[in-house]
Chain A
Amino acid sequence: MTEAPPRPAPAAPVRDHGAHREADPHDDGVAGTGRAVGSGVLRYGGAERATGAQQYVADLPFPDAAQVAFVTLPVARARITAIDTSAALALPGVVAVLTADDLPQPVPRFGISHQDRPVIADGEVVFHGEPAAVVLAETVDQARAASRAVVVHHEPLPGVYTLEAALAPDAPLVHHPSVRPASGPAADSNVLDDAHYAWGDLEAESARADVVVENTYSFPMVTHFPIEPGGTVVVPTADGGVEVYSPVQHPYLLQRVLAKVLDLPLTKVRVLAPDPGGGFGGKQNPRYEPLMAFLALRTGRTCRLVHSLEDTFAMMRRAACRIHARTGFASDGTVLTHELRADYLIGAYADVAPRVMSKGSYVGAGPYRIPAVRIDARAVLSNTTPSTAFRGFGCPQVAWATESQMDAAARALGLSGLEIRRRNLIGRGEAFVRGECPAPSDGDWLESLEKAAALIDHDAPRPPGRGVGIAVAIKPGATSGLSQSLVRLLYDGSALAYAGTSDMGQGARTLWQQILADELGVGLDAVSVVSGDTDRVPFDLQTSASRSTVFMGNAVLAACRDIRAQVLELFAEATETPVELLGEGPGVLLTPEGELPLPEAARIALGSLRGEFVGRGTSRMRGRSAHPLGGDAAFYEFNCTAIEVEVDTDTGELLLLKHVSVSDVGTELNPLQVVSQDEGASIMGLGHSQMEQLLVGEDGVIRNLGALDYRIPTFKDVPVELVTAAVANADGPGPYGSKGISEGALLCTAGALGAAVTDAAGVVLRDLPITPERVWRALHDQTD
Chain B
Amino acid sequence: MRYTSPRSADEALGLLAEHGAGAKVLAGGTDLLVALRHRTVEPAVVVDIKRVDDFDEPVRVTDDAIVVGPTATMGRLAELEEVRRRHVALVEAALTVGSVAIRNRASLVGNSCNASPGADTAPVLLALGATVTIAGPAGERTVGLDDFFLGPRRTACGPDELVTALHLPRPRPGSGSAFQRITRRRGVDLGTVSIAAVLGPDDDVALGMGAVGPRPLVARTRLGDHESTAAAVEHLVAAATPIDDVRAGSDYRRAMLRVLARRALDTAARRRDEEAA
Residues of A within 8 A of B (CB): 650-651, 653, 690-691, 695, 703-704, 708-709, 711, 713-717, 771-773, 776-777, 780
Contact = CB atoms under 8 A, between A and B. Distances in A.
8 contacts: A651-B260, A709-B246, A713-B187, A716-B187, A717-B185, A717-B186, A717-B187, A772-B184
Contact of B189 (A650, A711, A776, A777): A711
Interface string B229-259: 0000000000000000011110010011001
A709 B187 contact: no
Interface in B183-204: 184-190, 192
B223 interface: no
B83 interface: no
Interface residues of B, number: 18
A714 B187 contact: yes
A709 B252 contact: no
B246 A777 contact: no
Nearest to B193: A651
B182 interface: yes
B246 A691 contact: no
Contacts of A695: 246
A720 to B, nearest CB: 11
Contacts of B260: 651
A289 B216 CA distance: 47
B37 to A, nearest CB: 9
Given A691-B184, A772-B182, 15 more contacts: A650-B259, A653-B182, A695-B246, A703-B246, A704-B246, A709-B246, A711-B185, A713-B185, A713-B187, A714-B185, A714-B188, A716-B186, A717-B186, A776-B255, A777-B252
A306 to B, nearest CB: 15
A695 B192 CA distance: 16
Q: Which 10 A-B residue pairs are closest in the complex by CB-CB distance?
A: A714-B187, A716-B187, A716-B186, A650-B259, A773-B252, A704-B246, A711-B185, A717-B186, A691-B185, A709-B246
Contacts of A708: 190
A714 B185 CA distance: 8
A774 to B, nearest CB: 9
Nearest to A771: B184
Between B186, B188, B192, B248, the greatest number of chain A beta carbons within 10 A of the residue's beta carbon is seen for: B186
A780 B190 CA distance: 24
A776 B185 contact: no
Contacts of A653: 182
B33 to A, nearest CB: 13
A702 to B, nearest CB: 10
Contacts of A713: 185, 187
A374 B240 CA distance: 51
Contact of A715 (B182, B187, B248): B187
A714 B186 CA distance: 8
A715 B189 CA distance: 12
Contact of B184 (A703, A711, A776, A780): A711
A780 B256 CA distance: 12
Interface string B78-105: 0000000000000000000000000000
Contacts of B189: 711
A344 to B, nearest CB: 24
B252 A776 contact: yes
Contacts of B246: 695, 703-704, 709
Interface string B151-193: 0000000000000000000000000000000101111111010
A771 B246 CA distance: 12
Contacts of B247: 709
A711 B247 CA distance: 10
B249 A773 contact: yes
B182 to A, nearest CB: 6
Contacts of B184: 691, 711, 771-772
Nearest to A697: B246
A776 B188 CA distance: 21
A507 B190 CA distance: 35
A717 B183 CA distance: 12
A695 B186 CA distance: 20
Interface in B248-275: 248-249, 252, 255-256, 259-260
A600 to B, nearest CB: 54
B111 to A, nearest CB: 15
Nearest to A780: B255
